[in-house]
Amino acid sequence: MAEYVGAIDQGTTSTRFMIFDHDGAEIARHQLEHEQILPRAGWVEHDPAEIWQNTQTAIAEALKKADLTATDLAAIGITNQRETTVVWDRRTGEAYTNAIVWQDTRTDKIAAALTEAGHDEVIKHKAGLPPAAYFSGGKIQWILENVDGVREAAEAGHAIFGNTDTWLIWWLTGGPAQDGRDEGLHVTDVTNAGRTMLMDLETLAWDDELIALFDIPKQMLPEIRSSSEVYGHTLADGPVGGVVPVAGDLGDQHAALFGQACFEPGTLKNTYGTGNFLVLNTGTEIVRSSNGLLTTMGYKLGDQPAVYALEGSIAVTGSAIQWLRDQLGVIKAAAETEDLAKSVEDNGGVSFVPAFSGLFAPYWRPDARGAIVGLSRYNTVAHIARAALEAVCYQSKDVVDAMIADADLELEALKVDGGITANELCMQIQADVLGVDVSKPVVAETTCLGAAYAAGLAVGFWNDTDELARNWSEASRWSPEWDDSQREQGYAQWKKAVDRTLDWVD
């Protein structure tokens, strides 16, 4: 009897494979970084062949570290950087061009043209997303229009599209067809498909009207499946070294929601990394945002009804801490912000709005730029460090408030994960500015864990989400210490500072 579940986390900077036991505890991991290819300003690419190679190595090395083999794995799940677009030749397994990464802005004009032509409303209504370079649809269109031979190959059924989940599942389950062996599976799940601008949130199917807007041959698109079911099996002679069900697939933020056991409507997780990602479970109801949030899939388990979510992303949180370290040189390591900020009682009147690339949710103001305001001669770098940590928390509060307004809910607690949650002061400030408890789980690798959970559920390794919820246990909790007037004053100062950053660039 297999006692473990494996999960691939194909991220923006690295790919890892982790192995978990029945309690959700980590047994082993192996991780490899891949090259960030930056051919011009605004372009970000990855080499899909390198990602597949790294995935194979990560799986083999993690199994070796744990002294396990394929027979010890009940299933494998996958979670991935969302939106990143690969188009490849199904006859050879060769990509026609590098993957276009979610951060890449080369398709800004495609998105702007859709808005100008008045198509933004239908995209928003059906797909839940405003037209933006971020999502996959425009990236597929760009490849069809700019890489020689791809459109013809797509029309002939040779060129196929996938995000990195689809790319890896295709390889794991077969790759190109060979004598006596079928081609790998060309599938994705609803959470990934939901980030293309091509899927209708209600029908969970590719939408002909949306596909036509991007002029994409439909046969390029993978089959949309649930997030938790047996899609297929790994090849006996593949990197796993045996036949294991591939049974879970979730985009990274959705996997983190799942790994945080946010199964009930109204539960919310906030992942603190380079930027922040907040995802709120809205249950089986599609909530359309009037406050600048994205409507997205939460997850779908087999043939159970789909669970939806609201998402708010913040571009700059941890990267503002990196900026203090790398550009200003006032700290040597991110963790130093904690002691530095603790050395003063409060922000000393200073606010730091790190709108380095404009403001994302809920403001969506590309004209904003960063500002440190309220300075007097009394201030030191400690106040600026404190203001930087507060900025992480106030930006999160802005998104939480938008979610509360959209979904009409009362928040009980905020579940957190990600790098910055190591900063105790920052988490205390988060509880203070929100006025609710902040809670961090023992297993911090919620993204990988979520993919493992989805895979394990599909094969009966875990019975249901109640069992998973019981696996979730708290490592730390921070409760609000500010009174209401402190909270109001602090937030008023933040809002004033945000105002000062607007209308800065044309």
| Residue 185 beta carbon to ligand ADP: minimum distance, rounded to whole angstroms | 28
Sequence-ordered list of residues with C-beta below 8 angstroms from that of 156, at least 6 positions apart, any chain: none
Single out the segment in contact with ligand ADP by CB under 6 A; choices: 84-92, 141-149, 155-163, 415-423.
415-423
Single out the segment in contact with ligand ADP by CB under 6 A; choices: 19-27, 30-38, 187-195, 329-337.
329-337
Q: How far apart are CA 280 and CA 391, in angstroms?
A: 21
Give yes or no for residue 423 binding ligand ADP (CB under 6 A): yes
Work out which of 304, 322, 479, 489 binds ligand ADP, going by CB under 6 A. 322
In degrees rounded to 5, what are phi and psi of residue 233?
A: -130, 150
Nearest-CA neighbor of 2 among 70, 75, 72? 72
Q: Which residue is nearest to ligand ADP (CB)?
A: 419
66-95 residues near ligand ADP, rule: CB under 6 A: none
Q: How far apart are CA 429 and CA 392, in angstroms?
A: 9
Size of the site for ligand ADP (CB under 6 A): 15
Nearest-CA neighbor of 393 among 266, 279, 494? 494
Q: What is the rounded radius of gyration, in angstroms, for the C-alpha atoms of the chain?
A: 22
Q: Name which of 298 and 318 has its Cβ closer to ligand ADP.
A: 318
Give yes or no for residue 319 binding ligand ADP (CB under 6 A): yes
Give yes or no for residue 443 binding ligand ADP (CB under 6 A): no
At 502, which amino acid appears? L
Q: How far apart are CA 46 and CA 33, in angstroms?
A: 11
Nearest-CA neighbor of 53 among 32, 83, 36? 32
Sequence-ordered list of residues with C-beta below 8 angstroms from that of 339, at least 6 positions apart, any chain: none
Give yes or no for residue 31 binding ligand ADP (CB under 6 A): no
Q: How far apart are CA 267 and CA 280, in angstroms?
A: 6
Q: Name which of 271 and 471 has its Cβ closer to ligand ADP.
A: 271
Work out which of 128, 312, 418, 480 binds ligand ADP, going by CB under 6 A. 418
Which residue carries 């409303």 as its tokens? 121
| Residue 355 beta carbon to ligand ADP: minimum distance, rounded to whole angstroms | 16
Give yes or no for residue 419 binding ligand ADP (CB under 6 A): yes
Q: How far apart are CA 380 and CA 375, in angstroms?
A: 9
Single out the segment in contact with ligand ADP by CB under 6 A; choices: 73-81, 151-159, 193-201, 317-325.
317-325
Q: Name which of 210 and 321 has its Cβ closer to ligand ADP.
A: 321
Single out the segment in contact with ligand ADP by CB under 6 A; choices: 79-87, 204-212, 335-343, 428-436.
335-343
Q: How far apart are CA 358 and CA 183, in angstroms?
A: 44
Give yes or no for residue 334 binding ligand ADP (CB under 6 A): yes
Binding site for ligand ADP (CB under 6 A): 273-274, 318-319, 321-322, 334-335, 337-338, 418-420, 422-423
